[in-house]
Each structure stands twice: as C-alpha cells, then as structure tokens.
Amino acid sequence: MESMASAAIFYGVAALVLGSALYVVVGKNLVHSAFALVAAFFGVAVFYVYLGADFLAGAQVLIYVGGILTLLLFGVMLTNQIYNLNLRSGAIQVVPGALSAGLVFALLVWIIQSVDWGAMDAGDPGPTSESIGRLLVGDYLLPFEIASVLLLIALMGAAMLVRRRGSGSS
C-alpha cells in the first residue's frame, strides 16, 4: 500500500517534470518559462530523493534553483528593454526541430528497450554525504581540483566578458 502511494507520487512528479519542461521549450513568455524551469528542477530533486541521493537532492535545490535560475532570470531581465513588458521568445524551424527531437527520442527508447539491463535495486544506501565527501578528497581528488580551477576561471572569464570596454582602470 505504501509502495503504491510512493509509485503514484513518483509518476505524478514525472508528469510535472515533463510538463514543465514542455512549457520551457514551447511557452511564449520568457519569465514563465524560467519559473516552469524551477518546477522541473524541483522534480528532478525529488527523483534524487527516490534514488537515495540525499546530498545531491540538496545540492540540486541549492545550486540550480538558488544559483543558476537566479542567473538565468537576471539574463532574461537584462537582455530586454526595461519598458518591454511582454518578454516573448519566438520559435524558428519548428518542424525540423520536432523531427530531430522525435528521432532522438525514438532512438533512445529503442536502445533502452533492446538492452537487457539486468539491474537489481541495490537498496537504499543510507546517508551519502560522508561517502561522497570521502570520495571527493580520495579517489576523485583530481576531477575535484580541476572543477574548482574551472569554476574560478569561468567566473573570472564571465566578469571579463561583461566588463565595459574603457571603463576599467587598465
């Protein structure tokens, strides 16, 4: 009975994620698209909870919803004239785009169906924060360091790119 309810919530969240994603890619209003993206990110965080990835679910909400989405909203606001109240995004080449996306989806579904995954649920791994922390400074130390340097360089590069020419001291 409990697993029934849990499955029902899962498929409800799946429908929410796919519906919001659909609105993001076909919706007319940019700000509404950004808020639909919030719903999609929250739904993906719920998937992480179902998969027993508690730390990742927290990181997803903090970084995506708190960080990246705020950045995207600033992008929407700053790249439109302030008096332009209807922030619209038109669509181009809809038919070829739909065909390509449909082909990609069909190919993926075909692959998923034709492979015998033989996967067994390994069970709830329990709290993962400690193991992920140990892995990050153990087995995955090099990717971790490269990611931190990349983050630094990306932020410096972004600041360089948006600086107005001639207004700097150099």
Q: Binding to other proteins (CB under 8 A): which residues in 1-20?
A: 3, 7, 10, 14, 17-18
Spatial CA neighbour of 52 closest among 143, 121, 110: 121
* Residue pair 87/31 in contact by the 8 Å Cβ criterion: yes
Distance CA 86, CA 83 (A): 9
Is 55 exposed, middle or buried, given 0-12, 13-18 or 19+ CB atoms closer than 10 A? Answer: middle
Nearest distance in Å: CB 83, other proteins: 14
Q: Residue 139 interacts with other proteins (CB under 8 A)?
A: yes
Residue 126 neighbours by CB under 8 Å, 6+ apart = 52
Nearest distance in Å: CB 96, other proteins: 7
Nearest distance in Å: CB 24, other proteins: 5
Which of 119, 166, 168, 169 binds other proteins (CB under 8 A)? It is: 119
Q: Binding to other proteins (CB under 8 A): which residues in 92-111?
A: 92-94, 96-98, 100-102, 104-105, 108-109
Coil vs helix vs strand at 138: coil
Q: Residue 42 interacts with other proteins (CB under 8 A)?
A: no
Q: Residue 91 interacts with other proteins (CB under 8 A)?
A: yes
Which of 5, 82, 85, 120 binds other proteins (CB under 8 A)? It is: 120
| Tokens 């922390």 belong to residue | 133
Distance CA 136, CA 132 (A): 6
Q: Residue 151 interacts with other proteins (CB under 8 A)?
A: yes
Coil vs helix vs strand at 166: coil
- Please identify, using beta-carbon distances, which residue of 85 and 112 lies nearer to other proteins: 112
Nearest distance in Å: CB 85, other proteins: 16
Which of 8, 74, 127, 145 binds other proteins (CB under 8 A)? It is: 74
